[in-house]
Amino acid sequence: MQHNSKLPNVGTTIFSVMSALASKHNAINLSQGFPNFNSDQKLIGLVSKAMNSGYNQYAPMPGNLELRDAITNKFQLLYGSTYNPESEITITAGATQAIYTIISTFVSANDEVIIFRPAYDCYEPAIEVNGGKTVSIQLEAPHYAINWEQVEHRFSNKTKLIIINTPQNPSGSVFSKDDMLKLQALTTNTNCIVLSDEVYEHIIFDGEQHQSVCLFSDLKARSFITASFGKTFHNTGWKMGYCCAPKVLMDEFRKVHQFNVFSVNSPMQKALADYLKEPNHYLGLSPFFQEKRDLFLDLIKESRFKFTPSKGTYFQVLDFSEITQEHDVEFAKRLTIQNKLASIPLSVFNDNNKDDKVLRFCFAKTEDTLKQAADIINTI
């Protein structure tokens, strides 16, 4: 058989490559973004309780209404902004499914989609497979600030969608209030939709506030928010997320969603609905992960790596330019094989594989794991 691939240039993701290499060489894996500690036993118990209480058949297509109510309450508490649980919130099989469904719903052949690089790797393939054209704005290390003049120059009447990610994976940067106001000004009175990937909304450091699109009325009116319970509650393997948007956008999203997955895990939705009744289950995440970030950076402060402390997420970018001029992919592989420490090279997320001589390390790990990793880093 012969066929034309819709994604001819897509191979195995760097996450799979580095994790497989870490496994093969018995390396400490700070590459892929998942915690190596357990989710709260209370939440796990609530899943079992839901199963034993009969929540084992299809959930409603938009999701368990109790869970959607809990999400509404969370937005009111955190941002003073509301979404109608009946018509403006949909539970999804993780944030990636939500992102793919949004792009599939609204992007048609030759539509342009602006993304900011280094960008999480699920955006561009979803754009490409739906016939869209990716318009990249390259952010510059080490601060990864946005050049809004460049964005304005690339923005046109062909721009169907702008994808933002704050706090941003892989750089650990965050959008400021000024960034959001500039985005709002750029898109006001246009037909452009904003997809705001906010999966790390609860992991932001040094007293900063997360600038959600829902805080800005004109942005909220044209935006989707995608979020992840897996990132928030240390259970990425559950693949549970949700998205929020005004009804006019969500109506279209659900048309595609119902034929994509229809609905997602029922007992986990019930468990999350009960778990979210206690806001402290997510309000304490920033100090929890900042303590891990600060420990990690303190442990490696005498190393040859340079760094600007991450502003959010559970990732830290380290600059190795004073150690070697190897390409970052080759250096990351050598670190894994020879030094038994796996990380992620950022060039694979950049335009034209731009190599800034930086690697991304995940610090969502136990204290013991971070100390072992730091001991290795300090010998390099």
**Domain spans, the chain:** 14-32+284-377, 57-281
Given a contact cutoff of 8 angstroms between Cβ atoms, the answer to whether 130 and 101 are in contact is no
Instruction: Check residue 34 and give its pLDDT.
Output: 87
pLDDT value of position 146: 96
Neighbouring residues of 32: CB distance < 8 A, sequence distance ≥ 6? 15, 18, 19, 344, 362
Three-class secondary structure of residue 40 per DSSP: coil
Q: pLDDT at position 3, please?
A: 85
Q: What CA–CA distance (Å, rounded) separates 191 from 265?
A: 34
What pLDDT, on the 0 to 100 scale, is given for residue 95?
Answer: 97
For residue 118, the model assigns a pLDDT of: 97
CATH for 57-281?
Answer: 3.40.640.10
- Give the per-residue pLDDT at 205: 98
CATH architecture for residues 14-32+284-377: Alpha-Beta Complex (3.90)
Q: Kindly report which listed range (9-18, 37-46, 211-220, 279-288) carries the lowest average pLDDT score.
A: 9-18
Per-residue exposure over 302-323, b if at least 16 CB sit within 10 Å of its own CB, e if not: ebbbebbebbbbbbbbbbbeee
- Interval 261-311: pLDDT, tens: 999 999 999 999 999 999 999 999 999 999 999 999 999 999 999 999 999
Across-strand partners of 342? 29
- pLDDT at residue 48 greater than cutoff 90: yes
**241-244 and 89-92: which strand pairing?**
antiparallel
pLDDT at 346: 97
Per residue in 53-97, pLDDT tens?
Answer: 999 999 999 999 999 999 999 999 999 999 999 999 999 999 999
Mean pLDDT, range 14-28, rounded to an integer:
94
Q: What is the mean pLDDT of residues 21-32?
A: 95
Residue 139 has φ and ψ, to the nearest 5°, of -90, 145
Q: What is the CA radius of gyration of the chain?
A: 21
The reply to whether the predicted model has a pTM over 0.75 is yes
Residue-wise pLDDT for 113-131, tens only, equals 999 999 999 999 999 999 9
Whether residue 46 is predicted with pLDDT greater than 90 in this model: the reply is: yes
pLDDT for residue 4: 87
Q: For residue 9, what pLDDT is reported?
A: 84
Q: pLDDT at residue 164 above 90? A: yes
